[in-house]
Structure 1
Amino acid sequence: MSTIESRETSAISGDAGLSLIELIIYILLSSLLLSAMAVVLVNSWSTQKDVASVTQATNRGQVIGSAIERAMRNALDFDVDDATGTELRVRTSLGGNLACQAFLLKDGDARFTTSSGALPTLASDWARWENGIAQYASTPFFVENGDVVTYTFDIETDSAPVRFSGEAAARSTATGVSSPCW
């Protein structure tokens, strides 16, 4: 065998495959890369879950606020339970079942009822509307100030609670007559 042939043979045999050390290094690098990608994926899923929870809470809170404001805009008479600040009853200028409306917000729960006549006396008989309702600090859910009602509540989410606050005034001429609603 000549010198040229032996150099070619040794060069080819050195490149013929991976050594064990090279294989271990490639596996370690691949594992690190896959681990980093898994962490990013898990964080993305967690963030997506939080965003979806906040979005749903925002939509639910806007529905509650809109219903309260609509009832108050059309109010002929209304009453806030001053002792607890959790209940709002409204006699509206709207017809049919929307003539009498009542809202109950308490920790963990929102209830709502409508009627063309007398509202149910017990709030526990009202339909459960939403869950996850929470009081903001010690602020009452409803506060009456003249012909204006201010509402404040939080809705719990997977991350931070979403706060809702607003006020609504009666646009209709108040009659001061709560009958037949309560």
Structure 2
Amino acid sequence: MNQDRDSADDEGFSLVELIFYVVILGLITTGIAVVFFNTWKAQASVSDQVDAAERGQLVASQIEKAMRNAVAYEITDPTLASSLSSGPTLVVATAMSGSNACMAFNLNGGTAQLTTTSGARVGAAPWPTWQSGITQHKNSGGVLVPFFTQVGSDVAYSFDATSANGPTVHFEGTAYLRNSSWGTLPGGGTQTCF
């Protein structure tokens, strides 16, 4: 009779074994949850960085397109003189016809603004927001780098495209003026953008 009782006690899990298995299962589940959470967080960061890179590339390519077709340009700085808008502005008179004859870029207050006219003088702000998350770049010494700088007959640009969860993407380059006849429109005449 004792043998039956001993064999009955050996069946199943003891309370200690059950607690041990529950703790192990809990640790495994927690580990899996942490891996999934970190993967989701990393994916969100990469997605935000890609979005910032696309916005920055759009701004840089539009500036370079305007300068490739430029017959004249003007960089204004609101700290030096009255300007068209609240921030550093690049106004470009292009050789293009239609609504892109005059193109003006304002990078200030965390946004990029773009306005165009078909040859008329570019009007004062407010301009519509074109791209958000565009900020002024700080160099390694913490000094703010100007958005636009004249380099000979060309324009150097520098800005950062920010993202909500990912790192900031820095853009800088030189937009080259291809037109050698400064201020003269194709077919004659002079620019009237500024």
Q: TM-score, normalised by structure 2?
A: 0.83
Q: How does 1:106-117 map to 2 (within 5 A)?
A: 106-117=108-119
Confirm or deny: 8 A CA contact 2:112 2:132 kept in the other structure: yes
Distance in 2, matches of 1:78 and 1:11, equals 97
**Alignment partner of 1:93 is 2:95:** yes
Structure with a larger share of its residues in helix: 1
Q: Bigger CA drift: 82-91 or 111-120?
A: 82-91
CA distance in structure 2 between the partners assigned to 1:165 and 1:96 by the alignment: 29
The one of 148, 151, 155 aligned to 1:149: 155
Q: Indicate conservation of the 8 Å contact 2:147/2:159, yes or no.
A: yes
The Cα of 1:37 is off from its aligned counterpart by 1.1
Deviation of 1:174 (Å): 3.2
Mark the runs of 5 or more structure 1 residues left unpaired by the alignment. Answer: none
Sequence identity percentage = 39
Where 2:11 maps in the other structure, the secondary structure is: coil
Matching residue of 1:54:
49
Q: How far did residue 109 of structure 1 move?
A: 1.2
* Count of residue pairs the alignment pairs up: 176
SS at the partner of 1:117?
coil
Match of 1:38? 33
Secondary structure of the 2:54 match is helix
Partner AA of 1:90 in structure 2: V
User: Which runs of no fewer than 5 residues in structure 2 stay unpaired?
Assistant: 80-86, 139-143, 185-189
Q: Which amino acid aligns with 2:124?
A: L
TM-score by length of 1: 0.88
* 1:21 Cα deviation from its structure 2 partner: 1.0
Q: How does 1:128-147 map to 2 (within 5 A)?
A: 128-137=129-138, 138-147=144-153
Counterpart for residue 169 of structure 2: 162
**Contact 1:75 1:174 survives alignment (8 Å):** no
